[in-house]
Structure 1
Amino acid sequence: MPRHIWLLIIGTAIQVTGASFIWPLNTIYMHNELGKSLAFAGFILMLNQGFAIIGNLFGGVLFDKLGGYKTIVLGASIALVAAFTLTVFHSILPYAVLLIIIGLGSGIVRPAMFAMASSVWPEGGRRAFNSIYVAQNLGVAIGASLGGFIAVYSFSYIFLANALVFTIFYLLVLFTYKPMNVKQNTHAYTNVLEQGRSIENKRAFRALLILSLGFFICWIAYVQWQTTIASYTQDLGISIDKYSILWTVNGLLIVLGQPLIRVITNWIPSPKQQIYIGNSIFLISFIFILQAESFNSFLTAMIILTIGEMLVWPAVPTLANDLAPKGQTGFYQGMINSVGTAGRMMGPVIGGFIVDQFHIHVLFYGIIILFTIPYITTYRYDRKLSK
């Protein structure tokens, strides 16, 4: 891989490591430490992800207009200031506000990193997106592992660690990412209002929206592991540090399992087939978790879930990149990232409400039914393009 891709991998891993000190523990902190309901915690996470959606769209448009370097510096600066403020003020009101601001800043960074990977290594294809995806999960493995053990002593240390790691990411971007800034073709740039100018663009954008619906459903299901399932493990007597181990295993399996995934993806003819297989594995993991009551059962379910995400998560931005007309790579990556963020936004609210009103098993049955939708959207999204 080119040197620039390695810099993007390192930067992504560092940025996600900082975020992973906090995000797996958000629901636990608000519910168990601050005494708020699961529905309330879900609402705050919804706002966090709502502003991340704004950041995704804004970051994608900025990438097409200004390039990746300035876009990433802006997003990293916003997140960094909020993270340092959080080290001092973390009662429920400032915690909620600062969490929202961090969501906005990180949201700006995310599509720019994916789009920059594609622009500096266009011949890499899905390998470029997969490399950023692996880096994200390396950060999850490191951050979640350390975060769970640190939280046993004090959540204040978590906020400090988050701010320090965000600082390292900001400095790395500031001093090494500028040479990667690809000069944009302003004549090729098309903004949101001009998106439907040609028949080809209309068909591509319609295909993106259909593909996005299935992606949205997958994220609604996946995010339950970070919210309702996190709290459920506490109710079953599984400690915070053991819960964090689940995410450590998730991240390490993604990193160490890449040789196997490379073999599988060489065998699977297209990213579309990856989504079919990955979605089936997601479905199996939630069927399995219906009977899970011990740490080992949750660990097994997490391993199954991880195999599914290793196929689905890199495949969707790859298809979005293939659909993007010239000059709109950033916009299409911003769109697909905002849809994933929307799933992370709505998932905690939907899941928290169902668990508060009924039982977590009702939620699991509902998710199993919802998993039929990605099969349909993956089958239908490119039919008019094929014609």
Structure 2
Amino acid sequence: MKKLKLRWLLVGNLISSTGTSFIWPLTTVYMHDYLGKSLALAGTVLFIESLIMIGGSYIGGYLYDQGSGRKWMLLAIAISITALLLLVFFNKWPAYPILLIINGFAGAIANTIINALAASIKNHEASYVFNMMYFMANIGVVLGTLIVGLVVKLDIRYIFVVTFLLYVIFFIIALTKYVFENVQTKKNETHIKKEILQKTTKSSIFIISGILLTYLMIQMGYAQWQSNLSVYMQSLGIGLNKYSYLWTINGIIVVVGQPIISFLDRRYGINNVKKVYVGYALFVVAFASLIFAKDYEHFMISMIIVTFGEVIAFPVIPAIVANLSSDSERGKYQGFVSIAASMGHAVGPLLGGVVVELFSYELLFEMIVLLVLTTTIISLIITRFNLKK
């Protein structure tokens, strides 16, 4: 039986991330500027998409744990391909949000299954696997956001065409190279009964819950960068192309910074739990800096701080969850990682749109800082207490 090779997971992650980064940076701007919809309505669409993605993440984790991940992963990618093809021809209201939501649902199923598949690799440490997955995803962000700033000037539909083609390539790689080694084992009824007894410990569940609580709040703040910040920057006279280049900077820092973090990790053996809280602290600083940002230079500084927090914290979150969860519940807890991110993306744009229209951007950033700081402290207390146990 063929074995799953990490390099094919990384290539697939690169291609899918490049395709995805053609769409998500422009969603709010496209709805607001091209379709003439309000920020609140754009936030509502993203809210609904993220809620649907929560369901997709849960379903993906469940299907993986049941041993039927491969066929559902392929079906989910095929659904995304269909939605992206339709977007080439039907990108007005209400076709655009409907197809966007369908693509998000299918993508959540596929991504959760692929993350669980990555956690099943035994010849590498979980932290190394997810660091590399994250690294390749951000190379995709660099490529995607760099190109999208040029493509959008030609025709918005070209974005959907390129994304569609990339996902076709992604499907071919998943079909031919993604091997689910655990499927045959899970078909053995005796082994399944044995695995059922291996539940995740309560202490581990508490630690996972605390870390994911803060992760959810950070994703709420991060979602502002991907939605309302684009409109805010344009209101300050900063062009859309400069906004897209911030994401290019984000990707470049990740690409350069990730190997450095990995080297320091191998050299000094930095604990993953410590790393995640250092990253969380940087997010607090970054979100606080947005309160005072009024020109492009300040937004750039804030993005740089955000990116360092992201580089340090985001790759180790699924690795911590993979190490703390039992093999029989691997899919479920990787699904919870995706659910936390999706919930943040669900609430973030909608909350941001409402707060901005009723009050101000400054109040929005202050709220995000307070939420992230409070949950970080709570999570740290929970983690320290349960690690001692």
Q: Shorter-chain-normalised TM-score: which range?
A: over 0.9
Q: What's the counterpart of residue 378 of structure 2? A: 376
CA shift in 2, pair 1:220/1:184, >3 Å: farther
CA shift in 2, pair 1:248/1:89, >3 Å: same
Q: What's the counterpart of residue 358 of structure 2? A: 357
Equivalent-residue separation in structure 1 for 2:215 and 2:173 (angstroms): 31
Q: Which amino acid aligns with 2:345?
A: R
Q: What's the counterpart of residue 320 of structure 1? A: 321
Equivalent-residue separation in structure 2 for 1:101 and 1:123 (angstroms): 34
Of 319-328 and 215-224, the range deviating more from structure 2:
319-328
Q: What's the counterpart of residue 83 of structure 1? A: 84
Of 256-265 and 274-283, the range deviating more from structure 2:
256-265
Question: What is the DSSP-based 3-state SS (H/G/I as helix, E as strand, rest coil) of the residue aligned with 1:282?
Answer: helix
Q: What's the counterpart of residue 169 of structure 2? A: 168
Shift of residue 67 of structure 1? 5.0
TM-score by length of 1: 0.92
CA shift in 2, pair 1:69/1:289, >3 Å: same
Of 26-35 and 145-154, the range deviating more from structure 2:
145-154
Equivalent-residue separation in structure 2 for 1:218 and 1:377 (angstroms): 13
- Structure 1 gap segments, 5+ residues each: none
Q: How many residues align?
A: 382
Shift of residue 217 of structure 1? 0.7
Equivalent-residue separation in structure 2 for 1:67 and 1:255 (angstroms): 34
Deviations 1:113-143, CA, capped at 9 Å, x for gaps:
2221121245422111111111221111111
Deviations 1:305-330, CA, capped at 9 Å, x for gaps:
10001111112111211221231111
* Maintained 8 Å contact 2:4/2:181: no
Of 260-269 and 293-302, the range deviating more from structure 2:
260-269
Q: What's the counterpart of residue 94 of structure 2? A: 93
Verify: 1:220 aligned to 2:220, yes or no: yes
Deviations 1:15-66, CA, capped at 9 Å, x for gaps:
1111111100000000111111111000001111111111111111111222
Give the CA RMSD over aligned residues. 2.3
* Maintained 8 Å contact 2:200/2:329: no
Shift of residue 79 of structure 1? 0.8
Equivalent-residue separation in structure 1 for 2:203 and 2:15 (angstroms): 37
Equivalent-residue separation in structure 2 for 1:179 and 1:282 (angstroms): 36
Question: What is the DSSP-based 3-state SS (H/G/I as helix, E as strand, rest coil) of the residue aligned with 1:327?
Answer: helix
Equivalent-residue separation in structure 1 for 2:129 and 2:32 (angstroms): 38
Question: What is the DSSP-based 3-state SS (H/G/I as helix, E as strand, rest coil) of the residue aligned with 1:297?
Answer: helix
Equivalent-residue separation in structure 2 for 1:163 and 1:198 (angstroms): 41
Equivalent-residue separation in structure 2 for 1:96 and 1:144 (angstroms): 21
Verify: 1:129 aligned to 2:115, yes or no: no
- Residues 90-239 of structure 1 correspond to what in structure 2 (within 5 A)? 90-121=91-122, 123-178=124-179, 182-185=183-186, 201-239=201-239
Q: Which amino acid aligns with 2:265?
A: T
Q: What's the counterpart of residue 344 of structure 2? A: 343
Of 81-90 and 377-386, the range deviating more from structure 2:
377-386
Verify: 1:241 aligned to 2:241, yes or no: yes
Deviations 1:52-95, CA, capped at 9 Å, x for gaps:
11111111111122254323212211111111111111112111
Question: What is the DSSP-based 3-state SS (H/G/I as helix, E as strand, rest coil) of the residue aligned with 2:37?
Answer: coil
Equivalent-residue separation in structure 2 for 1:346 and 1:325 (angstroms): 30
Shift of residue 111 of structure 1? 1.7
Q: What's the counterpart of residue 304 of structure 1? A: 305
TM-score by length of 2: 0.92
Deviations 1:85-111, CA, capped at 9 Å, x for gaps:
111111121111111100111101112
* Maintained 8 Å contact 2:210/2:378: no
CA shift in 2, pair 1:41/1:34, >3 Å: same
Of 288-297 and 314-323, the range deviating more from structure 2:
288-297
Shift of residue 264 of structure 1? 3.9
Equivalent-residue separation in structure 2 for 1:122 and 1:374 (angstroms): 33
Q: Which amino acid aligns with 2:226?
A: Q
Shift of residue 382 of structure 1? 6.4
Question: What is the DSSP-based 3-state SS (H/G/I as helix, E as strand, rest coil) of the residue aligned with 2:292?
Answer: coil
Equivalent-residue separation in structure 1 for 2:289 and 2:296 (angstroms): 13
Equivalent-residue separation in structure 1 for 2:328 and 2:185 (angstroms): 8
Equivalent-residue separation in structure 2 for 1:10 and 1:305 (angstroms): 26
- Structure 2 gap segments, 5+ residues each: none
CA shift in 2, pair 1:182/1:307, >3 Å: farther
* Maintained 8 Å contact 1:214/1:378: no
Equivalent-residue separation in structure 1 for 2:98 and 2:77 (angstroms): 17
Equivalent-residue separation in structure 1 for 2:212 and 2:245 (angstroms): 31
Q: Which amino acid aligns with 1:69?
A: R
Q: Which amino acid aligns with 1:39?
A: A
Q: Which amino acid aligns with 1:82?
A: A
CA shift in 2, pair 1:200/1:181, >3 Å: closer
Shift of residue 181 of structure 1? 6.3
CA shift in 2, pair 1:127/1:240, >3 Å: same
Equivalent-residue separation in structure 1 for 2:246 and 2:369 (angstroms): 21
CA shift in 2, pair 1:280/1:78, >3 Å: same
CA shift in 2, pair 1:14/1:125, >3 Å: same
